[in-house]
């Protein structure tokens, strides 16, 4: 009996050591697998949902965009709540709520609103579904930041975004490209429910690490107090508020450029829509892998350094190149556009360590810091398009791109203020998690 069990335990220990060496917390491994499947299910619709809604009850793409807008507001609120509620309930419970919300309201959206072509119910059900994925995904991100050793937290967060962006929109859209011709768009949307549900179950049933099963806030902290502290931390700990602004700047230009770049690249430069879409695929495909690369690198050279040089300064340069190089070279140099597009996707990933840095600035209130971080991510979806709406007319496309580049320079300046407290430096030295160094007892899985 000894001879049969010992090799197995050794093998498990070896696998755990290998995962830890890669910066992927071994107790959370199945969570990353589940997250990837969850985000594939969520991302299946990303390439066709607006025209689908228009054809099945909204009537026009303008009315369909209102549905997407309501969904976006829900995503922003849920992004904030995922961090705040993880402090009160524990990340696993928040993830369970997110999974339940997504499955329930997506089923109602498809079976009732779409089947009956009922536009008001589309607004309600699809909008409420927006509370689902941020609570699941960002709840898991809080779990990661609570468990992963601080010295390897950048890599752990990099793996999170590898799974997150690998599913939404990349592999999700790929799945749809194969299933739409066979099942149709409606059948594909039902398939996405199954894929997402499977990922959610793998994550919630497969991860047995106990920190995520319990509240992270001290017992004396009340619900209202916890929710308010997730906002008040912005001025009680100004570095966290500054970090939230950096997070907004991170993706605001990305969302903004998608408003007006398609017309410029497809028609003004002359690439055509298909080659523009391929360029977008190259940007996001490159971003996926560099999320992981910069996550690992940041643990070695420093989170602040990575964000400053590769994220902020890198994006300030690459977004200018992405616009002005193809515009001046023309359609005959499409391969150059692919190169500068890949450069922008890579430098976007330079901001990945912000998800490790922010909770490390406030180890005593990780959930509050994560709530602000996620709020910044949601706010970016509005800030970017709003900048385009305000300035595209007065300063033109080139002027808007310069504004975006300037914002990245501002982010670089702000990053210099994001210095780690002594508590976090001590966690790095001891190779322990933020939960252990913040005064809590180490929790064994």
Q: Is the pLDDT of residue 10 over 60?
A: no
Higher pLDDT, 97 or 276: 97
* Dihedral of alpha carbons 109, 110, 113, 117, sign: positive
pLDDT in tens, 350-378: 999 999 999 999 888 888 899 999 999 98
**Which tokens sit at 119?**
């536009």
Please give the Cα distance from 290 to 296 (Å, whole number): 10
pLDDT in tens, 167-205: 988 899 889 989 999 999 999 999 999 999 999 999 999
| Residue 407 placed within a domain | yes
pLDDT at 423: 80
Least confident range from 108-112, 196-200, 224-228, 387-391: namely 224-228
Cβ neighbours, 10 Å, residue 80: 24
* Confidence at 437, pLDDT banded by 50, 70, 90: low
Q: Are residues 373 and 245 in the same domain?
A: yes
**Domain end marker among 174, 189, 215:** 215
**Which tokens sit at 68?**
């997407």
Q: Are residues 376 and 279 in the same domain?
A: yes
- Give Cβ neighbours of residue 47 (< 8 Å, ≥ 6 apart): 169, 173, 176, 177
| Residue 418 placed within a domain | yes
pLDDT at 438: 58
Q: Residue 48, preceding bond cis, omega within 30 degrees?
A: no
Among left, alpha and beta (phi > 0; psi -120 to 50; other), residue 190 is: alpha
- How large is the average pLDDT for residues 70-79? 90
pLDDT in tens, 300-318: 999 999 999 999 999 999 9
- How large is the average pLDDT for residues 397-412? 98
Q: Are residues 209 and 240 in the same domain?
A: no
pLDDT at 8: 38
Please give the Cα distance from 318 to 16 (Å, whole number): 38
Please give the Cα distance from 391 to 403 (Å, whole number): 9
Q: Are residues 414 and 289 in the same domain?
A: yes
Q: Are residues 63 and 172 in the same domain?
A: yes
Q: Are residues 188 and 270 in the same domain?
A: no
Q: Are residues 433 and 346 in the same domain?
A: yes
| Residue 38 placed within a domain | yes
> If you write DSSP's letter for every residue of 200-239 in order, what string do you get?
HHHHHHH---GGGGS--S-TT--HHHHHHHHHHHHHHSHH
* Confidence at 9, pLDDT banded by 50, 70, 90: very low
**Domain end marker among 183, 215, 247:** 215
Q: Are residues 52 and 161 in the same domain?
A: yes
Domain hosting residue 88, numbered range: 26-215
| Residue 10 placed within a domain | no
Please give the Cα distance from 65 to 46 (Å, whole number): 13
Cα 319 from chain centroid (whole Å): 20
Instruction: Tally the domains of the chain.
Output: 2
Least confident range from 5-19, 227-241, 269-283, 297-311: namely 5-19
| Residue 415 placed within a domain | yes
Q: Are residues 277 and 347 in the same domain?
A: yes
pLDDT in tens, 120-165: 999 999 999 999 999 999 999 999 999 998 989 999 999 999 999 9
| Residue 84 placed within a domain | yes
Closest by CA to 141, choosing from 128, 159, 129, is 159
Q: Is the pLDDT of residue 298 over 80?
A: yes
Determine contact, residues 97/135, Cβ cutoff 8 Å: yes
Closest by CA to 169, choosing from 36, 346, 44, is 44
Q: Are residues 245 and 379 in the same domain?
A: yes
pLDDT at 424: 84
pLDDT at 283: 92
What's the pTM?
0.87
- How large is the average pLDDT for residues 52-80? 90
pLDDT at 50: 84
Read off φ and ψ for residue 50, nearest 5 degrees.
Answer: -65, -50
Higher pLDDT, 435 or 234: 234
Higher pLDDT, 216 or 400: 400
Q: Are residues 264 and 406 in the same domain?
A: yes
**Domain end marker among 160, 186, 215:** 215
- How large is the average pLDDT for residues 409-437? 86
pLDDT at 143: 95
CATH number at residue 332: 1.20.1250.20
Please give the Cα distance from 143 to 385 (Å, whole number): 31
| Residue 368 placed within a domain | yes
| Residue 13 placed within a domain | no
Q: Is the pLDDT of residue 415 over 90?
A: yes
Q: Is the pLDDT of residue 391 over 70?
A: yes
To which residue do tokens 């180490």 refer? 442
Q: Are residues 82 and 201 in the same domain?
A: yes
């Amino acid at each position: 009996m000894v001879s049969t069990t010992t090799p197995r335990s050794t093998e498990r220990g070896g696998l755990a050591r290998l995962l830890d060496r890669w910066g992927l917390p071994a107790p959370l491994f199945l969570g990353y697998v589940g997250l990837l499947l969850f985000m594939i299910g969520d991302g299946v619709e990303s390439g066709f949902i607006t025209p689908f809604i228009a054809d099945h009850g909204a009537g026009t793409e303008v009315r369909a965009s209102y549905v997407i807008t309501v969904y976006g507001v829900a995503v922003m609120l849920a992004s904030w709540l995922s961090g705040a509620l993880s402090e009160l309930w524990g990340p696993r419970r928040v993830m369970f709520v997110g999974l339940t919300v997504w499955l329930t309201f997506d089923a109602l959206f498809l079976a009732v609103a779409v089947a009956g072509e009922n536009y008001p119910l589309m607004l309600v059900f699809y909008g409420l579904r927006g509370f689902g994925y941020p609570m699941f995904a960002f709840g898991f991100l809080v779990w990661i930041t609570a468990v992963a050793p601080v010295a390897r937290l950048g890599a752990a967060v990099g793996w999170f975004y590898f799974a997150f962006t690998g599913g939404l929109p990349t592999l999700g859209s790929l799945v749809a490209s194969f299933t739409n011709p066979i099942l149709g768009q409606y059948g594909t949307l039902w398939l996405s429910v199954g894929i997402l549900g499977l990922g959610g179950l793998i994550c919630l049933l497969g991860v047995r690490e106990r920190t995520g099963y319990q509240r992270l806030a001290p017992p004396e902290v009340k619900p209202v107090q916890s929710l308010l502290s997730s906002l008040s931390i912005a001025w009680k700990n100004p570095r966290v508020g500054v970090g939230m602004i950096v997070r907004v700047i991170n993706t605001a230009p990305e969302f903004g450029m998608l408003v007006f770049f398609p017309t410029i690249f497809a028609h003004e430069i002359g690439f055509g829509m298909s080659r523009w879409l391929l360029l977008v695929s190259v940007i996001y495909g490159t971003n996926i892998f560099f999320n992981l690369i910069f996550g690992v690198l940041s643990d070695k050279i420093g989170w602040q350094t990575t964000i400053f040089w590769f994220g902020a300064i890198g994006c300030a340069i690459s977004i200018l190149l992405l616009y002005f190089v193809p515009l001046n070279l023309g359609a005959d140099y499409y391969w150059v556009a692919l190169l500068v597009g890949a450069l922008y996707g890579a430098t976007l990933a330079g901001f990945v360590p912000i998800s490790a840095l922010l909770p490390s600035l406030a180890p005593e209130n990780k959930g509050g810091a994560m709530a602000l971080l996620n709020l910044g991510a949601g706010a970016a979806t509005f800030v970017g398009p709003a900048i385009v709406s305000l300035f595209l007319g007065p300063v033109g496309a080139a002027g808007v791109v310069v504004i975006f580049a300037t914002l990245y320079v501002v982010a670089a300046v702000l990053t210099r203020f994001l210095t780690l407290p002594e508590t976090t430096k001590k966690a790095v030295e001891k190779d322990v998690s933020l939960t252990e160094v913040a005064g809590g007892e180490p929790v064994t899985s």
